[in-house]
Structure 1
């Protein structure tokens, strides 16, 4: 009918889940698609591998800087305006990155990209908390992960094609086109899910003070720390794998992309299993299964790369199991961290993301500084994150259940 507003995606529908999944997949897309180009970016600008890897760390720093803002702003002004602002900033930064004349400017553009991409991730999680409770929230987060896991699976293959056919700048042009389409979709179909807006005006000092209250709450901190440790191991592989596979093992861009896709398939498998069993399984049992997978995979990776130092499978196969553990642990830990705070879902989601990205940025920067020494740097970082996840579960199991 002329003049009628577009039909919004209803809560509980597959269409809304897919849209939210695409919003949460923006971060992986921002890293995975251009990973095969990292060695060529370093060569193009005549810089070291570690310097090129700073484009990843800068993205995470920008992400971490944006996280404190989007959640509290969306708690006051609504989810959609903050979301669309983040998407617009990401799109503009992508265009500037495509035209970057130097590596330093590219790093700055990646910082802005990360700042913009923080919004979709935070707000998609807050929308889940607006609409769903308890195990249903964990199931929805896992469903989003399993459905949209196809994005990081396809991204490195697409990145290889763009790199070989058009060069590294094409990655950012394609990112702009994808974000434009996603922004139009969200503007037309995403419902506003915030039921009651916070009346208090946005003041950065008050917002940071509210984060402090969450940070020291034992209902929040152990679960958020588990999400950070879990994600940091995954990001360690994301940030260092292109150099390890292409420069140390001397495999082609396509062979690296295949190894990366195998890792993503592990994550999809874990997330798919969780979304099938979440409603009838105690969430802490899922956390235990994920932590055991991560710690076991880290130990296997340490041993395998020592026994078979020339084999890529010694790294790739354990990473599949680590990623499956992430599929178990990450959605449940995020849902349990936000569960006690329905009135501050945006702020809680922001703080979870800040911890995730802050720790991951430190891990990525450390790997970038030492990656030229060989794969053991990467392996050790992943294993330590897996062991940390298991240690944090030991703390969580002693907490009273919500």
Structure 2
């Protein structure tokens, strides 16, 4: 069995949280091909990303509270099974509408592992150790979005865009096997609260009454919002505006992910001496600086794709510094409701990102500027939120 404070457990938890990024990033280079093959517009194809985020948010409403009540492992296995079956539906989708629907179901399945992965960390670790564990997971998880677009770029010319979903299906089935055979139950004491829609809403309302929780959820959703804006818009901007091919796009996307991995490694070194908030402070500065620099370069008419990719790597370093520590800080006050707190955090994060993705998709009209403006806005807002909430965070 997998044990706490081992690399093997960290790797499994990281792969569980990577299920969502894998489902998204691997097929990014194929978005234009999907639009062409299924006779869909860019906005319709964008919905395969944005509806995935809505499904991700909807699933998280239930997974956390149910796992607090019945245990982490059975709920985790249900999510992995749903993800695997929905990946099969994506593979066989005959039109854009059915692909969007299958992506929504795929997201419902993928949302379970990420919620429960964070809850397991809170079950097993405290304080800065939890933040360090989430950063370690993020470092390993970061390898997935780094190689997923490259893998997708290699798969698409050989087997078409549908093979990306075959790969996701195999990944989900493999993880389900490992969880069933090797992952022990981490929940020491099950919640006695009756499960109902109203009881979940009451629990969410109680969590939102905690000022510190609200602040860290806001920081997490802003950091992820800018990242998702790049995920959803970069394939059209870099391939259509800057003329990159699918493989060149995949490599540039991987370069951006290296910034994220660098941020997570740096966070592991900083969180001990500087604490969770000290690490977040550096992270939000990187978010604001990366987004602002991208706006300046693109608005100045720099013709190279590096005007987008370079600043985005800095922004992603900020994501790696900010998001794991903000998540750990949000969950710390609620050891008895870690699943529920993780669910609500995920709902807020994914709903915001989905809305941002839809707005961005409607404004991608052949110009690169809407993308950096969106990313800069989230970075500057994160910096402002951190600067204005010192009392709430200390409380």
**CA 1:142–1:400: 2 relative to 1, 3 Å:** closer
| Cα contact 1:284–1:397 (8 A) shared by 2 | no
| Cα contact 2:270–2:279 (8 A) shared by 1 | no
Is residue 4 of structure 2 the alignment partner of residue 11 of structure 1? yes
Per-residue CA deviation, residues 169-189 of structure 1 (Å, 9 max, x unaligned), is 101111101111111011111
Is residue 103 of structure 2 the alignment partner of residue 110 of structure 1? yes
Is residue 303 of structure 2 the alignment partner of residue 303 of structure 1? no
Equivalent in the alignment of 1:229: 222
Is residue 245 of structure 2 the alignment partner of residue 249 of structure 1? no
| Cα contact 2:271–2:278 (8 A) shared by 1 | no
| Cα contact 1:122–1:350 (8 A) shared by 2 | yes
| Cα contact 1:244–1:375 (8 A) shared by 2 | yes
Aligned counterparts of 2:169 and 2:266: Cα–Cα separation in 1: 33
Equivalent in the alignment of 2:158: 165
Equivalent in the alignment of 2:92: 99
Equivalent in the alignment of 2:183: 190
Aligned pairs (5 A) from 1:263-278: 263-278=256-271
Is residue 342 of structure 2 the alignment partner of residue 349 of structure 1? yes
1:269 Cα deviation (Å)?
Answer: 0.2
| Cα contact 2:132–2:271 (8 A) shared by 1 | yes
1:283 Cα deviation (Å)?
Answer: 1.5
Aligned counterparts of 1:306 and 1:355: Cα–Cα separation in 2: 31
* Consecutive unaligned residues in structure 2, runs of 5 or more: none
Aligned counterparts of 1:307 and 1:370: Cα–Cα separation in 2: 19
Report the count of equivalent residues.
395
Residue of structure 2 aligned with 1:388, choices 378, 381, 393: 381
* Consecutive unaligned residues in structure 1, runs of 5 or more: 1-7
1:372 Cα deviation (Å)?
Answer: 2.3
1:398 Cα deviation (Å)?
Answer: 2.7
Is residue 63 of structure 2 the alignment partner of residue 81 of structure 1? no
Aligned counterparts of 1:345 and 1:397: Cα–Cα separation in 2: 24
Per-residue CA deviation, residues 47-95 of structure 1 (Å, 9 max, x unaligned), is 1111101000110010010011000000000000000000000000000
| Cα contact 1:157–1:258 (8 A) shared by 2 | yes
Aligned counterparts of 1:277 and 1:387: Cα–Cα separation in 2: 22
Equivalent in the alignment of 2:131: 138
Per-residue CA deviation, residues 310-339 of structure 1 (Å, 9 max, x unaligned), is 211110000000000000000010000111
Aligned pairs (5 A) from 1:28-47: 28-47=21-40
Moved over 4 A (4+): none
Per-residue CA deviation, residues 230-277 of structure 1 (Å, 9 max, x unaligned), is 000000000000011111111111110111001100000000111133
Aligned counterparts of 1:398 and 1:233: Cα–Cα separation in 2: 26
- What's the secondary structure of 1:372's corresponding residue? coil
| Cα contact 1:305–1:311 (8 A) shared by 2 | no
1:308 Cα deviation (Å)?
Answer: 3.4
1:200 Cα deviation (Å)?
Answer: 2.1
Equivalent in the alignment of 2:232: 239
1:400 Cα deviation (Å)?
Answer: 5.1
| Cα contact 2:215–2:392 (8 A) shared by 1 | no
| Cα contact 1:223–1:396 (8 A) shared by 2 | no
Is residue 121 of structure 2 the alignment partner of residue 128 of structure 1? yes
| Cα contact 1:95–1:172 (8 A) shared by 2 | yes
Instruction: Give the TM-score, by structure 1 length.
Output: 0.97
Per-residue CA deviation, residues 129-175 of structure 1 (Å, 9 max, x unaligned), is 00000000000000001122111111000000111111011011111
Give the RMSD, CA atoms, in angstroms. Answer: 1.0
Aligned counterparts of 1:135 and 1:143: Cα–Cα separation in 2: 12
Aligned pairs (5 A) from 1:356-395: 356-395=349-388
- What's the secondary structure of 2:394's corresponding residue? coil
Aligned counterparts of 2:107 and 2:141: Cα–Cα separation in 1: 19
- What's the secondary structure of 2:188's corresponding residue? coil
Worse-superposed segment, 191-200 or 302-311: 302-311
1:217 Cα deviation (Å)?
Answer: 1.5
Equivalent in the alignment of 2:281: 288
